Homo-oligomer: A and B are copies of this chain.
């Protein structure tokens, strides 16, 4: 009824972003992590937004939060909007600095496989600068600040994805240890080195190899594959290796594969490219460097 002052302000953009993140992840803590702030900050944003709307968006349970029907209803709209905004921002970045590539990948891939390939890329196209960001989970290429992602993937590839290699595993160790291993059953009694991200690897391999020991759980576990690899090089035991990650060590002779049995996992290392980045010069150069070397 009353004539309001012009342009009533909406909620703060950061509050909207906090809502979108918290709602999508169904957790304030996770949203805080995603946005690189403390959970308290998320609480405040959400509260501010709820106050503005004069309605609750979340029901607070003692352990975690839950969306109200209203929040649930609104989430897709906000997610779509922030996807689009993120995409616009990334588009700005890509178009502004076409020679800077950002790659997201697993820490072990970054360290043990990718760095070599990037040497190749630098040789081919020295004006392209690459940042590698080691993350645990595959990012949303449309929204997040990466041009390329390299992760293991199971199942069908989309048309934008490139298969880099199939993941194959087999035991590796120092030549000294290998000398005392003549058959798979000799593993009984040896120290088996594990990687926590691929905890089931030893079990998977042993299952598929005849005459092998049953127990694939013995021995130390490392959270980084690169550490496990280093341990193996130091003769600490036998590591279940992923082929591409130990090639360099095998070629250098630091490690050997004592058995001929290589087991294929039903997944591949897959490279995906952000929509805006396809068909750029830098993208072509990158693919060249990655795939060229692979066939060699």
Give A residues with C-beta under 8 Å from B: 1-4, 6-11, 13-14, 16-17, 34, 36, 53-55, 70, 73-74, 77-78, 80-82, 84-89, 91-93, 95-97, 102, 110-111, 118, 122, 129-135, 145
A228 vs chain B, min Cβ distance (A): 19
Contact of A133 among B6, B80, B118 (CB under 8 A): B6
11 contacts between A and B (CB under 8 A): A1-B132, A3-B133, A6-B135, A9-B36, A13-B85, A16-B85, A16-B88, A55-B95, A74-B95, A81-B81, A81-B88
7 tightest A-B CB contacts, nearest first: A77-B88, A13-B13, A81-B85, A81-B84, A53-B96, A55-B96, A4-B131
Number of copies: 2
Bound complex: CA A9 to CA B37 (Å): 12
Could you say which of B73, B85, B130 contacts A1, with CB atoms under 8 Å apart?
B130
CA–CA, A286 and B87, complex, Å? 39
> Does the CB pair A91–B74 fall under 8 Å?
yes
Flag if A131 contacts B81 (CB, 8 Å). no
- Residues of chain B with a CB closer than 8 A to A6's CB: 133-135
